[in-house]
Homo-oligomer: A and B are copies of this chain.
Amino acid sequence: MTVRVGLIGCGVMGTDHARILRREVAGARLVATYDADKSRAEAVARRADGARAFASARALIADPDVQAVIIASPDETHAELSIACIEAGKPALCEKPLASSLDDCRAVMAAEMKAGRRLIQVGFMRRFDPGYRAMKGKIGEAELGRPIFLHCVHRNAIAPSYITSDLVLANSAVHEFDISRFILDEEFASVTVISGKPTRNAETRRPQFVALESQSGIVVTIEVFLDAQYGYDVQAELVCENGTASLAPLRPLAERRAGRDGSAVESDWRQRFADAYRVQLQEWIAAIADGGAVGASAWDGYAASVTAAAALEARASGVKTKVAIGERPGFYV
C-alpha cells in the first residue's frame, strides 16, 4: 500500500519533508501541496512528479486523493489545520508546536477525543533519533537501574535576530521538555529558570538554565544557548542508580591536522537530526498503513506547551513555578 500525502507549508521544513518523502521513504507518495506563496507550492509539486499544488489548505485536506497530511505551515495555523484533518478523518504530522495557545492545544485534543482515534502526531523528531531511543531503552533495565536525574544541553551556532529570551524557552527548550518527558515517561511538577550573562552578540541570546522537577522528584537540568558559535550541539546524560547513559556524537570521520585531532561539529538541527527526520516520516507512514499511531501525541504537544508556559512565568518571576499540567485523559494513556 502506498500512502498518498499532502503537504501544507512549503518553507524550509516543508520542502525538507517533501524531499525526504520522495527520496528516502518507502510506501508514500507526495500528491498535493499548498503554500500561501503559490509558486513555492508549485515548485515542490513539480519535483514530486504527479503532485498538484492546491489553492487552499482546506481544499487539500478535503481532497479525496489525499490520505494523510504534513502540516508545516506557520505556527499559528497548526491547531486549526490539525482540527480540520481530524474532522476529515485524516492522520496528520504537525510540526511543533501543536498550537500557539494552551486553549488551542486543548481544542485539538477535544477534537481528537471526539473523533475517537489518534490522528495527530506532533513533529518532535528527536523521539526517532537512535541515541535518544537507545537511552530510553535503558530505562527499566537492571544494568542502569532507576533514573535519578537528567542533564540536557541545547546549543545553536547562531540564533536568528528575531529570537527573544522568551522564544529561547518556547521554541528551543521545548524540544528538551518533550524529550525529557519521553525518556522519563513522567510529567513535570515545577520549573525554575536562571538567565545567564548576555553574549556580545545580543542581549536576547543569553543562555537560559532551566531546572525541572518531575512528579516523582527526578530533576532535569537544561541549558539552552543559541549563540554558541562553534556549531549545533545537543547533549543529554541520564544518571541512574547504577550508572549513566549519554548521547554520543555521531561523527563518521575523525581527523588529525594542524596540531589538533577531532571531528566536524554539525552546523544545524537538520544535519544533526537528519536520520531522526527520515525515520519519523518512515514510521509515520508505516503506522498509517497499519492503522496505528507513533511518536508524540497531541497530549505530548500540550504537555510541552504547558511546560514552556510555566518556564516563561518562572523566568519572569525568578522563582520556582508550578507546571499545572492536570490529569492526562485516559484516551492518551
Chain A residues in the interface with B (C-beta under 8 A): 1, 21-28, 49, 129-131, 133-135, 138, 143-146, 148-149, 151, 192, 194, 196-200, 207, 209, 211, 213, 216-219, 221, 223, 225, 227-231, 233, 239, 241-265, 267, 282, 286, 318-320
Contacts and interface: CB of A to CB of B under 8 A. Distances in A.
Pick from A133, A223, A254, A320 the residue with the most CB of B within 10 Å.
A254
A230 B209 contact: no
Contact of A148 (B22, B199, B244, B262): B199
Contacts of A241: 199-200, 227, 229
A149 B221 contact: no
A318 B213 CA distance: 13
Given A196-B219, A250-B250, A255 B263 contact: no
A252 B245 CA distance: 10
Contacts of A23: 26-27, 282, 286
Nearest to A218: B197
How many copies the complex holds: the figure is 4
Pick from A213, A246, A257 the residue with the most CB of B within 10 Å.
A257
Contacts of A249: 261
A67 B200 CA distance: 50
Contacts of A135: 253
A247 B243 contact: no
A217 to B, nearest CB: 4
A176 B148 CA distance: 21
Given A196-B218, A245-B254, A247-B254, 13 more contacts: A24-B26, A25-B26, A131-B252, A135-B253, A148-B225, A197-B219, A231-B256, A242-B258, A243-B255, A244-B255, A244-B256, A246-B254, A256-B265
B213 A211 contact: no
Contact of A253 (B22, B131, B148, B229): B131
Contacts of A261: 249, 262-263, 265
A227 to B, nearest CB: 8
A123 to B, nearest CB: 19
A253 B248 contact: yes
Nearest to A135: B253
A158 to B, nearest CB: 12
Contacts of A267: 259
Contacts of A192: 192, 194
A255 B130 CA distance: 15
A215 to B, nearest CB: 11
A144 B196 CA distance: 18
Contact of A319 (B130, B245, B265, B319): B319
Pick from A135, A138, A223, A227 the residue with the most CB of B within 10 Å.
A223
B221 A207 contact: no
B151 A223 contact: yes
Q: Which 4 A-B pairs give the minimum distances between C-beta atoms?
A: A262-B262, A243-B257, A131-B252, A197-B217
Contact of A221 (B144, B197, B209, B218): B209
